[in-house]
């Protein structure tokens, strides 16, 4: 049976020393200038000491005009080369060194939010439209309050022109080149959670009739062009992965989804991280349930059935494995115990285990799971659902509860950056 302690070698040659990867989470530590701040470096130094097989950073936006949150680190302009941009490379090298000083290879999650760029985020101005493959606004619900809040937070997008597509492609490539020159081990293209790449892949948000729309292959052209352009300009040992949504797709579009994954595999993607959800339907936060409802207690987490339920997207990952057995798969979402992680490996559903929220309250959570001297009851971290304030329950938006949950763990990350002890939700 595969062990959590096993190393994993990617097609590029990069090796993760074990199967546990610190997953990407929102840190909100880019400051007003959207750069890697001292606080950001401090929290990654702690994760770097945590015995993780690999570290995924939070979102690094490829365009400072289009941010997911006001404090995301971002590329501020065109990147040419390390000689012409010495100060820029030096700034990001500090980030790479903080992540990797204690050994784990670190992958930068590159992102463009597309239509999910908050009105107040980015330097395009609060009244400028975000961009998207098609001019389809976010749908937070049919009620007046839902539609008004959606419009207030996310301006309706405009459809991208070919010039827009060429620019964003170049921004992804420039960002990847910068990360390679700064010393990171690779990049992950954020193609999930409703961000721009996912918007192109998904027929619900992409109704284009040109080369980027229509068939599953056409909808994948945007990300495949980005991948090939990056691969052409970075070292062969530099990893390129992708985070891919599972939750957007129903049985009717399942074959389209498998087609797109097959195209990524054929292109030579290093790994695919299986996640899911969007701002409209935030499945990445967890299974349905009332805010404040506790997760199963330790004594309930011993059965195989419970271990299987721990991984949010296990079934989808298993389906991908059946179709593409040679793909390196990372499964992220819901892992809280060694038993749950080992169960996913035993089912051959994945090669790597992505862990987010437990790492926000225990930067060394990987050590806990890797320590064979600890019992199953000890090798876990039970997290209750974060209770939302009473007023939030009157707002008919699922994103409010999801945002509150995300905000809670972002605050724990910021406590780590300040040298303070994180605390568990109660």
H/E/C letters for each residue in 313-378?
A: CHHHHHHHHHHCCCCCEEEECCCCEHHHHHHHHHCCCCCEEEECHHHHHCCCHHHHHHCCCCCCCC
Nearest C-alpha neighbor of 199 from the set 83, 115, 77: 115
pLDDT of 291 above 50: no
Nearest C-alpha neighbor of 317 from the set 333, 304, 305: 333
Rounded distance between C-alpha atoms, residue 116 and residue 155, angstroms: 9
Strands 186-191 and 329-332 turn out to be: unpaired
Average pLDDT over residues 309-333: 89
Does any domain span residue 426? no
Average pLDDT over residues 29-49: 97
pLDDT tens-digit profile of 215-254?
A: 999 999 999 999 999 999 999 999 999 999 885 556 668 8
Q: What own/partner pairs with CB < 8 Å and gap ≥ 24 does 32-37 have? A: 32/70, 32/71, 34/61, 34/64, 34/67, 34/71, 34/72, 34/73, 34/74, 34/76, 35/73, 35/76, 35/91, 36/73, 36/91, 36/92, 36/94, 36/95
Q: For the chain, how big is the Rg over CA atoms in Å?
A: 20
Which range scores top for mean pLDDT: 56-60, 149-153, 303-307? 56-60
Expressed as residue numbers, the domain containing 80 is: 8-417
Positive or negative torsion for Cα 259, 260, 266, 271? negative
Give the position of tokens 């309250």.
361
Is the separation of the CB atoms in 134 and 207 below 8 Å?
yes
Does any domain span residue 335? yes
**Strand pairing partners for 329?**
272
Q: Tokens for 194?
A: 């409703």
Does any domain span residue 423? no
Q: What percent of the chain has pLDDT above 70?
A: 87
Q: What is the mean pLDDT of the chain?
A: 89
Rounded distance between C-alpha atoms, residue 373 and residue 150, angstroms: 50
User: Which SS3 state, helix, strand or coil, does residue 55 take?
Assistant: strand
Is the separation of the CB atoms in 386 and 408 below 8 Å?
yes
pLDDT tens-digit profile of 12-21?
A: 999 999 999 9
- What CATH number does residue 296 fall under? 3.20.20.70
User: Which SS3 state, helix, strand or coil, does residue 213 take?
Assistant: coil
pLDDT at 330: 97
Give the position of tokens 């004594």.
299
Rounded distance between C-alpha atoms, residue 173 and residue 186, angstroms: 12
Does any domain span residue 93? yes
Domain count, the chain: 1
pLDDT of 292 above 80: no
Rounded distance between C-alpha atoms, residue 51 and residue 34, angstroms: 28
Q: Tokens for 33?
A: 């200038």
Does any domain span residue 76? yes
Q: What percent of the chain has pLDDT above 90?
A: 75
- The tally of CA atoms less than 13 A away on the side-chain side of residue 36 is 25
Rounded distance between C-alpha atoms, residue 120 and residue 342, angstroms: 42
Rounded distance between C-alpha atoms, residue 293 and residue 300, angstroms: 15
pLDDT at 422: 95
Positive or negative torsion for Cα 76, 79, 81, 84? negative
Give the position of tokens 């400028």.
128
Q: What own/partner pairs with CB < 8 Å and gap ≥ 24 does 207-211 have? A: 207/134, 207/136, 208/133, 208/134, 208/159
Does any domain span residue 171? yes
């Amino acid at each position: 049976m595969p062990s959590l302690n096993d190393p994993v070698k990617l097609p590029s040659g990069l090796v993760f020393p074990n199967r546990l990867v610190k997953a990407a989470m929102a840190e909100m530590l880019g400051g007003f200038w959207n750069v890697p701040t001292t606080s950001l470096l401090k929290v990654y130094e702690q994760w770097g000491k945590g015995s993780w097989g690999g570290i995924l950073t939070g979102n690094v936006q490829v365009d400072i005009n289009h941010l997911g949150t006001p404090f995301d680190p971002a590329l501020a302009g065109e990147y040419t080369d390390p000689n012409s941009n010495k100060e820029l490379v030096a700034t990001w090298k500090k980030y790479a060194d903080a992540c990797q000083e204690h050994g784990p290879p670190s992958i930068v999650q590159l992102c463009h939010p597309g239509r999910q760029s908050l009105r107040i985020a980015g330097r395009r101005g609060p009244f400028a439209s975000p961009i998207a493959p098609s001019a389809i606004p976010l749908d937070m619900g049919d009620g007046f309050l839902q539609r008004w809040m959606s419009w207030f937070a996310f301006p309706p997008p405009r459809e991208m022109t070919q010039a827009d597509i060429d620019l964003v492609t170049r921004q992804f490539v420039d960002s990847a080149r910068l990360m390679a020159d700064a010393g990171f081990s690779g990049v992950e293209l954020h193609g999930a959670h409703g961000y721009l790449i996912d918007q192109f892949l998904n027929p619900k948000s992409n109704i284009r009739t040109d080369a980027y729309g229509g068939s599953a292959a056409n909808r994948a052209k945007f990300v495949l062009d980005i991948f090939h352009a990056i691969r052409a300009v970075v070292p062969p040992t530099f990893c390129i992965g992708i985070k891919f949504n599972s939750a957007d797709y129903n049985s009717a579009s399942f074959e389209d989804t498998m087609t797109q994954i097959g195209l990524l595999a054929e292109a030579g993607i290093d790994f695919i991280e299986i996640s899911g959800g969007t701002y409209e339907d935030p499945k990445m936060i967890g299974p349905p349930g009332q805010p404040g409802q506790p997760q199963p207690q330790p004594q309930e987490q011993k059965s195989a059935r419970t271990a299987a339920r721990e991984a949010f997207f296990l079934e989808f990952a298993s389906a991908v494995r059946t179709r593409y057995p040679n793909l390196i798969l990372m499964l992220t979402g819901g892992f809280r115990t060694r038993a749950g992680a080992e169960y996913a490996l035993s089912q051959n559903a994945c090669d790597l285990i992505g862990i987010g929220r437990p790492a926000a309250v225990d930067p060394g959570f990987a050590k806990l799971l890797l320590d064979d001297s600890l019992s199953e009851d000890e090798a876990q971290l039970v997290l209750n659902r974060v209770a939302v304030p009473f007023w939030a329950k009157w707002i008919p938006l699922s994103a409010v509860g999801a945002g509150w949950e995300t905000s809670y763990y972002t605050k724990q990350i910021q406590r780590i950056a300040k040298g303070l002890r994180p605390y568990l939700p109660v």
